[in-house]
Amino acid sequence: MKLAARIGQVPPSLTLAIAAKAKALKAEGIDVCSFSAGEPDFDTPAHIKAAAEKALQEGKTKYGPAAGEPKLREAIARKLREDNGLCYNAENVIVTNGGKHSLFNLMLALIETGDEVIIPAPYWLSYPEMVKLAEGTPVIVTTDASGGYKITPDQLRSAITPKTKLFVLNSPSNPTGMIYTPEEIKALAEVVVENNIWVVSDEIYEKILYDGAEHLSIGAIGPEIFDRTIISNGFAKAYSMTGWRLGYLAGPVELIKAATTIQSHSTSNVCTFAQYGAIAALEGSQACVEEMCQAFAARRQVMLDRLNAIPGLICPKPDGAFYMFPDISQTGMKSMEFCNALLESHQVAAVPGIAFGADDCIRLSYATDMASIEKGMDRLEKFVREKTLG
């Protein structure tokens, strides 16, 4: 079969391969500690489930508008105004099948052959692949631990060419957990405005912050950057709703209309009764978000203390999300070799950094219970000591 050339450019997900191997070991009855989760380990809060159940019982089981239930679009616009200082209305918002789908709609609506999209590495693994599927060119800018894995305004400026269309910003970041300070965001916004490019801000982890860290949405800085900003967000991480497939894209009406056209011919509306759960998530008490953050904060401290006590690993302290991204280069191994050996010899699942464009690192998720963290860190420590001491 001769498949389309566009698919030949896109590798299957590496993270899924390790996760599948971990699952297979578990199925054999082997006790695996998994730090590979890309989702919160909590159940969806009860009031959100109840709202979706009620909508289901009430017969909200038909097609709805492709851009989303009007009431949800209103609630999202209000959230963006009140939480983020972004002056959007319902017409600036489209409800999508998750934050991933928001970004995919955006790439299809904005990017064409020859367009360059600037992506700082380490990056969320789907960004470059989505750009390629839209027949654009990902331009990867490598950042390092000394700079907190953050792109500097100079790096951004140097990467811009006449073909640059879009810059992808993700703070807090998956995989590093780093966040850009308000000053850093302002400096990047200046470069975006000066060069008249677009920025998409993936804010899926905005609620998962530690030690008083502050999230500033780049579009809130002023009218000039607001006009060049697109926001991607969703319900998966903040409300532990990964399987619900609910996200949104916000931006200029022209873009939202284009994304709606794409959606109307591809997926149609997001599951109608699920959208009522999303309304409850936004309009109900936010205490559930706070509770999950507190649980993550305690685990983060334990994992970080344990990592820092392992000679040979270097891990900057993350301020958000639920990941650690230690550098493993002192062990002499690259990330795939490290993760395969760790899983096979000590039954700990981690994600190789090469999946995120950083082959000297691994990603550890602490979206798992404290006992598993302690046990897994014992094993990781033993593994690294054996490898480095020979």
Ligand X SMILES: *Cc1c(COP(=O)(O)O)cnc(C)c1O
Kindly tell me which of 142 and 308 has the beta carbon lying closer to ligand X: 142
Residue 152 CB, shortest distance to ligand X, in Å, is 21
Listed ranges 51-59, 98-106, 218-226, 362-370: which one lies at the site for ligand X (CB under 6 A): 98-106
d(CA 179, CA 268): 34
Measure Cα distances from 89 to 36, 94, 205, 253, 315 in Å: 37, 11, 22, 9, 41
Kindly tell me which of 164 and 170 has the beta carbon lying closer to ligand X: 170
Kindly tell me which of 137 and 242 has the beta carbon lying closer to ligand X: 242
Restricted to residues 110-169, the positions that interact with ligand X (CB under 6 A) are 124
Residue 151 CB, shortest distance to ligand X, in Å, is 15
Kindly tell me which of 15 and 301 has the beta carbon lying closer to ligand X: 15
Q: Verify binding: residue 171, ligand X, rule CB under 6 A.
A: no
Residue type, 87: C
Q: Verify binding: residue 174, ligand X, rule CB under 6 A.
A: yes
Measure Cα distances from 333 to 92, 152, 359 in Å: 47, 28, 9
d(CA 144, CA 147): 6
Residue 367 CB, shortest distance to ligand X, in Å, is 11
Token pair for 25: 């070991």
Which pairing describes strands 93-96 and 247-250: parallel, antiparallel, or unpaired? antiparallel
Task: Please report where in the chains the tokens 């056209």 appear, as a residue.
Answer: 261
Q: Verify binding: residue 247, ligand X, rule CB under 6 A.
A: yes
d(CA 96, CA 82): 21
Kindly tell me which of 122 and 387 has the beta carbon lying closer to ligand X: 122
Question: In angstroms, how far is the first alpha carbon of the chain from the final one?
Answer: 49
Tell the burial category of 162 from Cβ atoms under 10 Å away from its Cβ (0-12, 13-18, 19+): exposed
Residue type, 174: N
Q: Verify binding: residue 286, ligand X, rule CB under 6 A.
A: no
Task: Please report where in the chains the tokens 């050339």 appear, as a residue.
Answer: 5
Residue 347 CB, shortest distance to ligand X, in Å, is 25
Give residue number: closest CB to ligand X: 98
Binding flags for ligand X, 181-220, as an x/- string (CB under 6 A): ---------------------x-x----------------
Residue 387 CB, shortest distance to ligand X, in Å, is 29
Q: What is the DSSP letter of 286?
A: S
Residue 310 CB, shortest distance to ligand X, in Å, is 26
Kindly tell me which of 166 and 236 has the beta carbon lying closer to ligand X: 236
Q: Verify binding: residue 242, ligand X, rule CB under 6 A.
A: yes
Q: What angle do the packed helices 335-346 and 14-27 form, to 10 degrees?
A: 10
Kindly tell me which of 242 and 330 has the beta carbon lying closer to ligand X: 242
Q: Verify binding: residue 170, ligand X, rule CB under 6 A.
A: yes
Measure Cα distances from 118 to 9, 128, 136, 166, 250 in Å: 18, 9, 11, 6, 20
Kindly tell me which of 32 and 103 has the beta carbon lying closer to ligand X: 103
The one among 73, 100, 300, 387 contacting ligand X by CB under 6 A: 100
Kindly tell me which of 174 and 372 has the beta carbon lying closer to ligand X: 174
Listed ranges 94-102, 180-188, 212-220, 304-312: which one lies at the site for ligand X (CB under 6 A): 94-102
Torsions phi, psi of 112, nearest 5? Answer: -135, 175
Token pair for 98: 């998750």
The H-assigned helical ranges of 116-174 are 126-133, 153-159
Residue 243 CB, shortest distance to ligand X, in Å, is 8
Residues forming the site for ligand X (CB under 6 A): 38, 98-100, 124, 170, 174, 202, 204, 234, 236-237, 242, 247
